[in-house]
Amino acid sequence: MDSFTGKLAVVTGGGSGMGRELVRQLAAQGCSVAACDLNADAVAEAAATARAGGPPGVQVSGHACDVSDEAQVLRFRDELLEEHASDHVDLVFSNAGIGGGSSFITDSRQEWERVFAVDWWGVYYCARAFLPLLIASGDGVLINTSSVNGLWASLGPGMPQTAYSTAKFAVRGFSEALIEDLRAHAPGVRVAVVLPGHVGTDIVANSLRARGLPAPEQMSDAQLEELIPAGARAGLIRAGLLAEGASAEQLRQMLVRMNTDFRDKAPVSAAEAATIILDAVRSGAWRILIGEDANMIDAAVRAKPEAAYDYAELFSPLARKPAAEAPEQ
C-alpha cells in the first residue's frame, strides 16, 4: 500500500492523542476515516477537524463506542459501513487504550480488569469484527497498538505496570502470531504492531476520566485518597516524587504536574508519532517502534534478557558511555 488516497480507515480512540492525529493525517492524505472513542464529544470534534482539513470527497465519521464491549464494537462496525456505504475497510488502527492497574497487589481487582479489558479485549474484539472486512478489501492492514510495555513489563524501580504490560504483551503476541496465520489463510491482509515509547498525549487524564474520575485539578480529597492510598504514597515519597507528610493539595498538584509533564515534556509529539506510524505502514513494516527510548529498551532487553529487571545492569552501557560520545555543550 503506497498511498492512502481513496481508502477507508477505522481508528479506535480517535478522540485524543495519537488516534486523533492519525484521523487528521489520514484525512489530509485523502483517506476516508471512521473513528470511534469512549468520549463521544472528543471524537465528534476530531472528526469535524479532520473533515475540514481533508480534500473534497473525503468522508470522516465519529462514533461513540467502548471497545471493551463487543456489542458496541459490532454496532460501530454496522454504523460505519452504512455511513460510508462500503462493504469493506482497508485499514484498522486499534489504538484505543488506557493506563492504570499498576499493582496486582495493591490496586483494586476492578481497576486491573478494566485496564486489561480495554487494552487487550478491545484489540481482540476489533480484530474479530474487522478482519472479515479487511479480507474483503483485498489489500488490508491491521495495525494494533501495543507499547514499550509490550517489550518490557515495568516502568522502572518502584513503578510496577502489571495490567497494562500484561495486555500490551498480549497485543504484541497476538499481532506477531497473526503474521503467519494471515500469510497462510488471508494473504490479502497484513498486520503491524506499534510499540511507542513516551509520546506526549493526555493519556494520564484520559485514563482517570475512563475510570469515572474528574481531571486532577477537580479531584476531591476522598478521590485522591482512593486513587493514591497510603502504600502508593510511600512509594512516591521513596521515588522522590512527593515530599514526606505531603498534604492533599500537594498530592493534587503532583498529579496535575504528572499529566502536563507527560504531555508537554515528551520526546515525541502525538503528531510526530502518527507520521511515523503512517510512513511505516506505507513502507510495509510490521514492527513500528516510536522514539529513541523504545529503540533503546528494545535493544537492551534483547541484548540482556536476564537483566531486564535489574535496572542498573540493564542500563549500564548508558551509564558507561564514554565522554567523547557525550552531547556537545
Ligand X SMILES: NC(=O)c1ccc[n+]([C@@H]2O[C@H](COP(=O)([O-])OP(=O)(O)OC[C@H]3O[C@@H](n4cnc5c(N)ncnc54)[C@H](O)[C@@H]3O)[C@@H](O)[C@H]2O)c1
What minimum distance in Å lies between the beta carbon of 180 and ligand X? 24
Compute the least distance from the CB of residue 137 to ligand X, in Å: 23
33 binds ligand X (CB under 6 A): no
Closest CA to 79 of 43, 123, 27: 43
Out of 11, 19, 192, 251, the only residue in the binding site for ligand X (CB under 6 A) is: 19
Q: How many residues bind ligand X (CB under 6 A)?
A: 34
Q: Which is nearer to ligand X, 237 or 256 (CB)?
A: 256
> Cell triple for residue 117?
479489558
Sheet holding 60-64, edge to edge: 60-64, 32-37, 8-12, 91-94, 140-145, 189-196, 287-290
161 binds ligand X per the rule CB under 6 A? no
Of 124, 125, 164, 309, which residue is the catalytic one?
Answer: 164
The least distance separating ligand X from the CB of residue 36, rounded to whole angstroms, comes to 6
97 near ligand X, judged by CB under 6 A: yes
CA pair distance 201, 203, nearest whole angstrom: 5
Is 165 a binding residue for ligand X by CB under 6 A? The answer is no
From 8-16, 128-136, 183-191, 214-222, give the range in contact with ligand X by CB under 6 A: 8-16
Q: Which is nearer to ligand X, 199 or 314 (CB)?
A: 199
Is residue 259 involved in binding ligand X (CB under 6 A)? no
With CA atoms as reference, report the closest residue to 146 among 287, 15, 297, 300. 287
Rule CB under 6 A: is residue 170 a binding residue for ligand X? no
Interface residue with ligand X, options 32, 95, 161, 165 (CB under 6 A): 95
Q: Which helix (H) or strand (E) holds 77?
A: helix 70-83
Q: Which residues lie closer than 8 Å to 207 by C-beta, 6 or more apart?
A: 98, 99, 100
The nearest distance, CB 51 to ligand X, in angstroms, is 18
C-alpha 140/C-alpha 8 separation (Å) is 10
Sequence-separated contacts (24+) of 80-83 with Cβ below 8 Å: 80/10, 80/34, 81/133, 83/34, 83/59
CA angle, residues 215, 219, 220, in degrees to nearest 5: 170
Rounded to a whole number of angstroms, the minimum distance from the CB of residue 64 to ligand X is: 9
Tell me if residue 125 is catalytic.
Answer: no
**Chain positions contacting ligand X, by CB under 6 A:** 12-13, 15-19, 36-39, 42, 65-68, 95-98, 118, 122, 145, 147-148, 196, 198-199, 201-203, 206, 210, 270
* Active-site residue set: 164
